[in-house]
Amino acid sequence: MSLNEKRRVFLKGSLAAGALGAAAGMLTPGAVLAAWNKNAFTAKSIDEAIAAADGSPVTTPSKDITIKAPDIAENGAVVPVTVVTKMKGVDSITLLVEKNSTPLSAIFHLPKGTLPDVSTRVKMGKTGDVIAVVKANGKLYSARKGVKVTIGGCGG
Amino acid sequence: MAKTIKIRAKAKNGITVVKALITHPMETGLRKNKKTGKLIPAHFIQEVVCKHNGKEVINCEWAGSVSKNPYLAFKFEGGKKDDAIELAWKDNMGNGDSISAKIR
């Protein structure tokens, strides 16, 4: 099977890369997937990440965005988050975790007809805010929700 | 490849709710192997696309900070029983999987 062959080749390649050091391994992802927004996902600050993901770091806080997340997360490795908004014409929902070393966690592109109501689970290194940025009709709106983390989900 | 995706789509009152679970380690690349002290290479899903009757209904870009064995739920308008739903993912190492299912 061709997929399996590829996998073999790939495994060999990754072993070699591992021997050369992590840097060699880090070069591959960008080449594999052009669509993936590398600049946004490697940004270290929230403003940079939002700017790279949505085109501008300026967002308007909005009460129409609801972030459903626990007040206290016992396990930071699995924090369920739901973002819902009543706004119309939502193009994308961007999810960031304030205190992670690379804050951007996920971007959801919503074509017309898909409701602005998405759920996933994220890792949180420590207590901080979960930030949702909603792009609707070309404008950016944001909301925050504080989550207290008792056991970190990154490292350890 | 072993099946990595579980998906359930249900149509009710003109709105379809899709819930999916993907089996994936989602390594951030920041974690260390406790025995060797070396960093575990990043290995996470970067892109998830879901289609309804061939039309894209969601397109996600993810980072390693999405939890291990990621969960995704979303809703879209339209969709009825027995419509085709397709979900596919791709990770930073070039692996991927897809599944086709029917709306219930």
Give tens-digit pLDDT for A137-151.
999 999 999 999 987
Question: Is pLDDT at A62 greater than 70 in this prediction?
Answer: yes
Residues A21 and A76 occupy one common structural domain: no
Q: What is the pLDDT of residues B73-91, one digit of tens each?
A: 999 999 999 999 999 999 9
**Angle, CA of B25, B31 and B37, to the nearest 5°:** 125
Specify the pLDDT at position A150.
Answer: 87
As a whole number, the mean pLDDT across chain A is 83
Q: Residue A18's domain spans which residues?
A: 2-32
> Which of A41, A79, A104, A130 to mutate: most B Cβ within 10 Å?
A41
Specify the pLDDT at position A12.
Answer: 58
Residues A54 and A126 occupy one common structural domain: yes
Of the candidate ranges A13-17, A35-39, B43-47, B85-89, the one whose mean pLDDT is the lowest: A13-17
Specify the pLDDT at position B101.
Answer: 95
Residues of A in contact with B60 (CB under 8 A): 106-109
Q: Which H or E run includes A107? A: strand A104-109
**Matching CATH number, B5-102, of 3.40.50.300, 2.60.40.10, 3.40.30.10, 3.90.320.10:** 2.60.40.10
Burial of A117 (0-12, 13-18, 19+ CB in 10 A): buried
Closest CA to A38 of A46, A29, A47: A29
Whether A14 sits inside 8 A of B93 (CB atoms) is yes
Residues A25 and A47 occupy one common structural domain: no
Q: Is the CB of B93 inside 8 Å of chain A's CB atoms?
A: yes
> Which of B65, B69, B89 to mutate: most A Cβ within 10 Å?
B65
pTM value is 0.82
Specify the pLDDT at position A24.
Answer: 38
Residues A102 and A135 occupy one common structural domain: yes
Q: Please tell me the distance from the alpha carbon of residue A102 to that of residue A58, in angstroms, as a whole number.
A: 19
